[in-house]
Amino acid sequence: MALFSRGGGPAPPSRTEPGSEELGSPAFHHLVETLEKEPGRKYEILDLGPASGNHIEFFSRFRCRFHVASLEETLAEWRWEEEEQPPPEPVRLLPLAGAARFDLILCWDLLNYLDEEGLALLAGHLHTHTARGAWMHAFVHTRATMPARPGRFQLMSPERMRWLHGSAETAPAPRYAQRTLERLMPGFGVWQSRLLQNGLQEYLFQAV
Amino acid sequence: MFDKSKKATGEAAQSPAPVQPAAPKASPGGGQTTTIGPSIRLNGELTGDEDLLIQGQVEGNIHLKEHNLTVGEQGRIKANAYARTITVRGELIGDLTGAEKVTITASGRVRGNLLARTVILEEGASSKGSIDMDAKAEAPTLQAAPKSKSA
């Protein structure tokens, strides 16, 4: 199994400057409004993306414990030459022992860079660390190609983000359909799904 | 907690430290700053009443009551650290508590949990772990670092 869907490893570094674009994020906006309805509640938030001062600043509006997983960095550092050996257990890639149950998981566009087996393993692992009703937010590419590496998302406001492409080079996108996602992630149901203008499908899942 | 990228831990670390820190220098605040140089490896408890710059390797615990700790670009730390302010420019595995502030610069790599009233994460900094933002408990406020030109 290759956790990266293009065959066992991260793409080489880009030679040209990756682009960026602004996008609306209606599902994320709805999510923020929902979290704001319980101002006294302390949230456990897991960010699968890299450490970002912007994200920390944004979520400091809530009482929360913000966990930074930097999953892409972990995957990139993994010794992929040992690929014939049994694939790494998700718990080794994403050690969550001791962490509380998460109320919100931020996937950004990372799911696109996992193959089906990796996605199912990750979702199963995450589900064991979420409470019923917990939220998971993600972007899924619907066009044929996508940047060869996961991007970064800067939160400009609850309803607008800047998507910094991970690479100027492109790779085939797995184009996961909603039915596929629901099959691979049985612990999470689609609560809201919006197709954005730039071809990203914004998903808000809820743990069942 | 984060068990990866462990490089060169080894048992070579000496015990209670025949450390010969460099001569203290005046810090911007008027106090003294002691430097643990790049060739020094220290294993044990480290406490002090002056600012500290670590460019070497330290394993254990670091406790600087009301002073500032800086892990320099060459610093490699495996320790829980407590100080008034903590700035990480090198690598650190452990939990950090800053009475006032924790800053991870663009060159800094931290694997551990952060607790401080103010946490600054510069663009490009690498951090894995949790950051407590419980305003009611400790009133921590968090800031993003100034944006880089390209962002």
A21-31 pLDDT, tens digit per residue, is 999 999 999 99
Mean pLDDT of chain B: 78
CB nearest to A56's CB, from B5, B128, B144: B144
User: What's the CA gap between A108 and A77, in Å, rounded?
Assistant: 20
So where are chain A's domains?
19-73+90-207
pLDDT on residue B16: 44
Judge whether residue A133 has pLDDT over 50. yes
Pick from A179, A176, A198, A201: nearest CA to A189: A179
Q: Is A64 on the interface with B (CB under 8 A)?
A: yes
Nearest to A53 among B122, B140, B150 (CB): B122
Mean pLDDT of B9-24: 43
Q: Which residues of B fall within a CB distance of 8 Å from A62?
A: 133
| Structure tokens given for A11 | 């793409």
User: Which tokens sit at B5?
Assistant: 């990228």
Q: A160 exposed, middle or buried (CB, 10 Å; 0-12, 13-18, 19+)?
A: middle
Average pLDDT, chain A: 86
Question: Which residues in chain B touch residue A77, judged by CB atoms under 8 angstroms apart?
Answer: 4-5
What pLDDT, on the 0 to 100 scale, is given for residue B118? 86
Q: What is the pLDDT at residue B11?
A: 35
How far is the alpha carbon of B51 from chain A, nearest alpha carbon, in Å? 26
Listed in sequence order, the residues at least 6 apart from A71 whose beta carbon sits closer than 8 Å to its beta carbon are A48, A49, A93, A94, A110
As a whole number of angstroms, the distance between CA B15 and CA B44 comes to: 7
Helix extents (H) in A90-160: 90-93, 116-127
Phi, psi of A163 (to 5 degrees): -95, 115
pLDDT recorded at residue B150: 39
Helix residue ranges, H only, A3-70: 26-36, 53-59
Instruction: Give tens-digit pLDDT for A178-196.
Output: 999 999 999 999 999 999 9
Q: Which residues of chain B neighbour A56 with C-beta distances below 8 Å?
A: 119, 121, 131, 133, 142, 144
ipTM of predicted complex: 0.77
Nearest to B95 by CA among B62, B72, B51: B62
pLDDT of residue B67: 96
A73 touches chain B (CB under 8 A): yes
Three-state secondary-structure class, residue A33: helix
The answer, for B2 touching chain A at a CB cutoff of 8 Å, is yes
> Rounded distance, CA B101 to CA B117, Å?
6
**Spatial separation of the C-alpha atoms in residues B86 and A119, rounded to whole Å:** 37
Using pLDDT thresholds of 50, 70 and 90, give the confidence band for residue A18: confident
Q: Closest residue of A to B122, CA-based?
A: A53
Q: What CATH number does the domain located at A19-73+90-207 have?
A: 3.40.50.150
Cα–Cα distances (Å) from B133 to A53, A184, B69, in that order, read 13, 33, 22
Per cent of chain A over pLDDT 70 is: 82
Are A167 and A182 within 8 A, CB to CB?
Answer: no
Q: What is the pLDDT of residues B98-151, one digit of tens each?
A: 999 999 999 999 999 999 888 889 988 999 999 987 644 443 444 555 544 433
Check residue A131 and give its pLDDT: 87
